[in-house]
Amino acid sequence: MSNPPDVRHPLSWQPEEWAAYAQSIGEPTFRGAQIFRWLHHQGVTEPAQMTNLKLSLREGLSALGVGDPLRVVECRRAADGTRKILCELSSGDRIECVVIPMTRDTEMVDPDPEDVDDEPAVATRQRVTLCISTQVGCAMGCVFCASGKSGLRRGLKAHEIIAQVLTAKRHLEPNEWLRNIVFMGMGEPLHHYDETALAIRLIMNPEGIAIGPRRITVSTVGLVPGIKKLAHDFQGKLGLAISLHAPNDEIRSKIVPMNERYSIDDILAALRAYPLPKRRRITIEYTLIQGVNDSPEHAQQLARLLRGLRVKVNLIPMNSIIDSTLTASSVERVDRFAQVLSDARVSCSQRKRRGDDVAAACGQLALAPASSLVRAPQPLRGL
Ligand code: SAH
């Protein structure tokens, strides 16, 4: 957000920046609003298609660099309707986003009792959750996640994050309706906070994509300064999901290297300070890995850890990834784990696998082999 607008891609400009642009070329400010609506509301990124703008203006927009920053390479559909969209950015980097039609038992976000859109009249439309990426690769190096296997290539700019939303909207079926956005694709959204926050503001803009903060969930490995900024900048209104995955620091440090920097205590302190609105809860993501973090004792320890916090635990049986000896917990162990949590009155749900026949499930979004990596994750001992 600190960059001046002229060095940022125009797809990441806010309405006031478009108004300033309109003025700078001698046009009335409402022209700026029209352009913003074309881009973010209509999803039209090609100036030639902005039919109510005069030719010179459209040419000006092209000269400014307005255009789609990504192209779809492939869209693969899983048996359950999940679609993984592989995109190539103008830099040549490839990223993925995933369109997930929601069913009652796959809701990743709490239904909002105050939201009129949840009334039965509109409930007949198929709601869709979109999972988007914030980085090409990932620097966090979680041992069970494919995205981090090749390290981080680069963070995405806000316009590249927004472009995924606009692209995915073009891939919706007529009856489908984009309801939720989850920052759970490739990368760590709080690792480069400013671009993520800028993209979120654009997604929320009522003149644009217009998805409210309660329908946006940011998932983080637990970067405490980022959680604090998010709490401050969005007043706790955004959904927050924490990838905890372990009931103590010893286990967590083995599977989530970032735990060496921000321990479980540090993260829980940040969660206690998060200004959650009424009736909202923070999601604790917990990937169950056979023999690593999935015993009934671990569940008890987790329940004790979370006591007094407004959270719900989302249990994710680990999805298989190549080059890893780690495997998913058995159905019995998952059920037992869930039972212990329920007995301790910790609200929990089991995330159904979505799209794993096209490698679109959690942690399966991976980089194509990369040559220029910024940093590869450190190998871990003990597993
Ligand atoms: N970096 C962010 C968001 C990306 S991952 C984060 O760490 O939260 C989205 C979720 O999928 C995280 O909870 C992540 O830990 C989980 N995940 C990663 N690999 C997985 C795997 N192989 N099986 C199941 N869940 C996985």
From the candidates 96, 160, 188, 285, give the one annotated as an active-site residue.
96
Which one is predicted more confidently, 115 or 304?
Answer: 304
- How many residues make up the chain in this entry? 383
- Among candidate residues 150, 241, 138, 240, the one with its CA nearest the CA of residue 192: 138
87 is catalytic: no
Q: Tell me, in angstroms, the distance from the centre of ligand 1 to residue 145's CA.
A: 6
Q: Tell me, in angstroms, the distance from the centre of ligand 1 to residue 240's CA.
A: 14
Q: Tell me, in angstroms, the distance from the centre of ligand 1 to residue 47's CA.
A: 37
Distances (CA, A) of 150 to 226, 287, 360, 363: 23, 20, 17, 13
Across 63-72, 96-105, 246-255, 354-363, least confident range: 354-363
Rounded to two decimals, the pTM is 0.90
Cα separation, 131 vs 364, in Å, equals 12
- Supply the residue whose CA is at minimum distance from atom 7 of ligand 1: 221
Give residue 324's pLDDT: 84
Of 149, 316, 350, 352, the one to substitute when testing ligand 1's pocket (max ligand atoms within 8 A of C-beta) is 316
pLDDT category of residue 270 using cuts at 50, 70 and 90: very high
Of 136, 191, 221, 243, the one to substitute when testing ligand 1's pocket (max ligand atoms within 8 A of C-beta) is 243
250-266: average pLDDT: 98
334-354: average pLDDT: 91
- Report which ligand 1 atom has the smallest distance to the Cα of 364: 22
Across 72-81, 236-245, 329-338, 374-383, least confident range: 374-383
Give residue 322's pLDDT: 81
Q: Tell me, in angstroms, the distance from the centre of ligand 1 to residue 191's CA.
A: 15
pLDDT-above-70 percentage for the chain:
85
pLDDT category of residue 149 using cuts at 50, 70 and 90: confident
Across 12-21, 26-35, 144-153, 218-227, least confident range: 144-153
75 is catalytic: no
- Supply the residue whose CA is at minimum distance from atom 18 of ligand 1: 363
Give residue 147's pLDDT: 85
Give residue 111's pLDDT: 53
Across 82-96, 337-351, 365-379, least confident range: 365-379
- Supply the residue whose CA is at minimum distance from atom 8 of ligand 1: 220
For the chain, what is the HEC assignment? CCCCHHHCCHHHCCHHHHHHHHHHCCCCHHHHHHHHHHHHHCCCCCHHHCCCCCHHHHHHHHHHCCCCCEEEEEEEECCCCCEEEEEEECCCCEEEEEEEECCHHHCCCCCCCCCHHHCHHHHCCEEEEEECCCEEECCCCCCCCHHHCCCEEEECCHHHHHHHHHHHHHCCCCCEEEEEEEECCCCCCCCCHHHHHHHHHHHHCCCCCCCCHHHEEEEECCCHHHHHHHHHHCCCCCEEEEECCCCCHHHHHHHCHHHHCCCHHHHHHHHHHCCCCCCCCEEEEEEEECCCCCCHHHHHHHHHHHCCCCEEEEEEECCCCCCCCCCECCHHHHHHHHHHHHHCCCCEEECCCCCHHHCCCCCCCCCCCCCCCCECCCCCCCC
Q: Tell me, in angstroms, the distance from the centre of ligand 1 to residue 99's CA.
A: 16
- Report which ligand 1 atom has the smallest distance to the Cα of 140: 1
Give residue 124's pLDDT: 78
Residue 361 has pLDDT above 80, yes or no: no
Q: Tell me, in angstroms, the distance from the centre of ligand 1 to residue 286's CA.
A: 9
pLDDT category of residue 373 using cuts at 50, 70 and 90: very low
Residue 110 has pLDDT above 80, yes or no: no
Compute the mean pLDDT over every residue in the chain, rounded to the nearest whole number.
89
Cα separation, 5 vs 200, in Å, equals 17
Ligand 1, CB within 6 Å, residue ranges: 140, 142, 144-145, 184, 188, 219-221, 243, 285, 287, 316, 318-319, 321, 362-363
pLDDT-above-90 percentage for the chain:
79
